[in-house]
Structure 1
Amino acid sequence: MGASDDMKLLDRVPTSKPPFEYNDLKKAIPPHCFEKKLFRSLYAISIEILIMFTLYYVASNYFHILPRFLSCVVWPVYWIFQGVMLVRSWTTGHECGHHSFCGYGWLDDTIGYLLHTFILTPYFSFKFSHANHHSHTNSLEYDETHIPKRKSHRLYYEVMNNPIGWMFTILLHITLAYPLYLICNYGGRKYKGLASHFYPQSPIFKNSQRRKVFVSDVGIFIVLYAYYRVVMTQGATWAFYVYGGPWIFMCVIVTIITYLQHNHPSIPHYDSTEWNWIRGALSTIDRDIGFTIIKNKTDNHVVHHLFPSIPRYHAHEATEAIKPILAIANCNTMAVAKFNPETNSNITWLMAASLGEKNSSKLIENLPNIGGKEKKAVGMRGKQ
């Protein structure tokens, strides 16, 4: 099936004003979904740390006695499993930045700082830039990440817009995009001056935030020095096998997950004349990637953008609660919508193509009263 045929299977997300209010979504979610449970969160993180330590202990104490051919198999397996656990640490630190971990601001920041610093992510710096992303999701001018290239971007459209350029871009993006984003704002919003998560005077941050950016840098420096001492005593090869491999795998997975949650041919980006917060939040994507251990991070992303303070263990229930209301606007949290948008030159789509209307029967189902009126909506399609 050709590319044009594939595109006909997609309908763009509706860009008109949704026929519901933000409070309608909030009221649909059971109140307990907003509650953070301290001991439940601490128990979960304790299990994560125990698993990481167990993996490290087994790898560092037993892998070296295995036959060489078997060692070549078990080390990559270790990188994958430990890398997934580092993704869990990244996710927990991210939740701490939203204060959805336990509800105590100082404890959220302390735990998030320790977790993110260990995986070389400047906690407060990322917390501040990520808050900007949530405040301006899918804005062409002000979103922090996942901003589509315009045709005026000559390097991309005239030099890289070919099979070799695509392969280079994909390889660079998957392997180095996350650390390069932190270091030099690769793929991020355009700023005047040096934009870096490690530079306290970076235009990314407000004046009131710069002191905490410096605190993040101090933590990263301490961890890097500790890694340097490990390399000096244990050797660079050992350090790479035990930590470097899992860390690289973590960067790859974080990049892939965040890319999939914000990019799809049906998803629009808005300029300043069209963008508003609810439009941006509804233009995110839930993805079921199958990894149970990071499942609540990937397949409840829309509700996370709408209500970032909801803890991950309530995210699925909250997602199910708002689906009937989102269906009123034909807005499927799995990135599929049902009708074509109005013509508007100020709305940019991931792919410049004519998306045909899908010829298929649509399930009509009764929905709860919203605003005192009976609503009906198109049933939502399955997961991506």
Structure 2
Amino acid sequence: MLHTSPTGNSIPPLRDTGNTSTTYSEDDLPEFSPMPWKLQEIRAAIPPHLFVRDTKRGLAWLAFDLLMAAVCWKIALYIDPSFKSPGAIRLLSPLGASIAQWACWLVYWWFQGLIFTGIWVIGHECGHGAFSDRQWVCDVIGFVVHTLLWTPYFSWRISHHRHHCNHASMERDEVYVPKTRSDLGIPPENGHKIDYDEYLGDTPIYTLFMLVRQQLLAFPAYLLWNVSGQKDYPKWTNHFDPNSILFTREQRHLVIMSNLGILFMIASVRFACNMWGAASVVKFYGIPWLCVTHWFIMITYLHHTDPELPHYRQPVWNFQRGAAATVDRNFLGWMGRFFLHDVAHYHVIHHFFPKMPFYHGAEATQYLKMFIGEHYHYSEKPVFQALWNNYNECQFVEDTGNVLFYRNRKGQAILRPAPQYREDADAVPASSEK
């Protein structure tokens, strides 16, 4: 299926990564050349009014999110009393009442998790300065909402900014940096057949376990131990050490402020557990927060991880090429657009212009697609299917070359660089001008 831009130009979606062919040859793969344009040329293709930030509009969205969270919370207060009442037990039987009770909790966790994630997205907007043209407004609101969701606002804002500045750079990106063949101890093929199952042949059950672990723990693990981050950083790199390599000397006081916010949350949760009981805190707040970490990791993983997305080494990397190495996805349909503020549907434009407010993302994306054409990536694949497929298909990249594509558990890719980008010595340097 081809997706059509406003000008009528057809834009191909991401390819199906399932390899059904019985034979595989690198020579048969489609070739890829990095995009040639400067950032100024791309920006000029987008109307200026789409870059305007409206503080009142941002505050209205935040207020609406908080109202939805409060309404859900209020409704959830009636779940246990209603289904534990004698009338409900007589009507539904003890087992039926219990099943209905936990079904209602599942509905609450689903929607409250999405609402909490939307609130986290507002904090993310603040971190980029996209919420308001007043930086102090962004920082106050971002600090509050991110702290309430266990994210060290200033510390994460700093490393996330560096991620945007260096996305898809093998040497300098902050997160989702691909493992190389040598990282996994896989020898080069050099004309010899490699038994990839020996290195990558995990059972489906083990793969599922590792995927679930990623979804629930990857964000805390990244903050605490730099998991999936830049491998050249020192061993104990984390977002809570003011002296971490992630921060400059001038940023240390911001890290301390973020840490104080997290300490406040620890004290607040402890107080809430003493006041209302740990079980209630987990049901009303803990599980929805766990859903935030799941949705956030799933969204960002699928934005930046796909067999069709390139990674670059320094001679050919530049900002706009890195920004284009992301993918928009139809994430949960209307729920993803409404509750998550289009964070997954229009992420490519966000990487090009992080200060553009989310409510302009849909319109701006149409102009971006018109200009960059086939370099714009979009996928209609159901996101849980994409998560499973990409987790299996995106295993490693090569140790050599300056334009790299993920290889799967059989060592196969779906794209290859154009000839001038295949070997380090032949690489064409990227323009340093944005």
TM range (shorter): 0.7 to 0.9
What residue is the counterpart of 2:273 in the other structure? 231
What residue is the counterpart of 1:371 in the other structure? none
Aligned runs of 1:139-288 on 2, under 5 Å? 139-154=169-184, 161-163=201-203, 165-190=206-231, 191-288=233-330
Name the amino acid aligned to 1:182.
L
TM-score by length of 1: 0.84
What residue is the counterpart of 1:292 in the other structure? 337
Aligned runs of 1:107-118 on 2, under 5 Å? 107-118=137-148
TM-score by length of 2: 0.75
**Would you say 1:349 and 2:405 are equivalent positions?**
yes
1:248 Cα offset (Å)? 0.8
Judged with a 3 Å threshold, the aligned counterparts in structure 2 of structure 1 residues 186 and 193 are, in CA distance, closer, same or farther, namely closer
Cα deviation digits, residues 213-252 of structure 1 (max 9, x gap): 1100101111110110111121111110001110111111
Moved more, 268-277 or 234-243: 268-277
Cα deviation digits, residues 325-379 of structure 1 (max 9, x gap): 111xx2123169xxxxxxx82222112425379xxxxxxxxxxxxxxxxxxxxxx
Q: State the aligned residue count.
A: 346
1:270 Cα offset (Å)? 1.1
Q: Distance in 2 between matches of 1:131 and 1:79?
A: 31
SS in 2 for 1:298: coil
On the 8 A contact 1:133/1:144 being kept in 2, the answer is: yes
What residue is the counterpart of 1:50 in the other structure? 67
On the 8 A contact 1:193/1:203 being kept in 2, the answer is: no
**Would you say 1:89 and 2:119 are equivalent positions?**
yes
SS in 2 for 1:233: helix
Structure 2 unpaired stretches of 5+: 1-15, 84-96, 187-195, 381-399, 417-434
Q: Distance in 1 between matches of 2:58 and 2:360?
A: 12
* Larger gyration radius, structure 1 or structure 2: 2
On the 8 A contact 2:79/2:105 being kept in 1, the answer is: no
Q: Distance in 2 between matches of 1:138 and 1:204?
A: 18
SS in 2 for 1:202: coil
Structure 1 unpaired stretches of 5+: 337-343, 358-384
1:159 Cα offset (Å)? 5.8
What residue is the counterpart of 1:367 in the other structure? none
Judged with a 3 Å threshold, the aligned counterparts in structure 2 of structure 1 residues 112 and 12 are, in CA distance, closer, same or farther, namely farther
Q: Distance in 1 between matches of 2:139 and 2:17?
A: 49
Moved more, 140-149 or 21-30: 21-30
Q: Distance in 2 between matches of 1:230 and 1:272?
A: 49
Percent identity, please.
Answer: 32
On the 8 A contact 2:35/2:375 being kept in 1, the answer is: no
SS in 1 for 2:19: helix
The one of 98, 108, 123 equivalent to 1:78 is 108
Q: Distance in 1 between matches of 2:66 and 2:18?
A: 45
What residue is the counterpart of 1:127 in the other structure? 157
1:13 Cα offset (Å)? 8.1
Q: Distance in 1 between matches of 2:111 and 2:272?
A: 22
Aligned runs of 1:303-318 on 2, under 5 Å? 303-318=349-364
Judged with a 3 Å threshold, the aligned counterparts in structure 2 of structure 1 residues 71 and 332 are, in CA distance, closer, same or farther, namely same
What residue is the counterpart of 1:27 in the other structure? 44
Q: Distance in 2 between matches of 1:227 and 1:354?
A: 47
Q: Distance in 2 between matches of 1:100 and 1:30?
A: 17
Q: Distance in 1 between matches of 2:415 and 2:199?
A: 30
On the 8 A contact 1:266/1:335 being kept in 2, the answer is: no
Judged with a 3 Å threshold, the aligned counterparts in structure 2 of structure 1 residues 5 and 106 are, in CA distance, closer, same or farther, namely same
What residue is the counterpart of 1:64 in the other structure? 81
Judged with a 3 Å threshold, the aligned counterparts in structure 2 of structure 1 residues 335 and 136 are, in CA distance, closer, same or farther, namely farther
1:76 Cα offset (Å)? 1.2
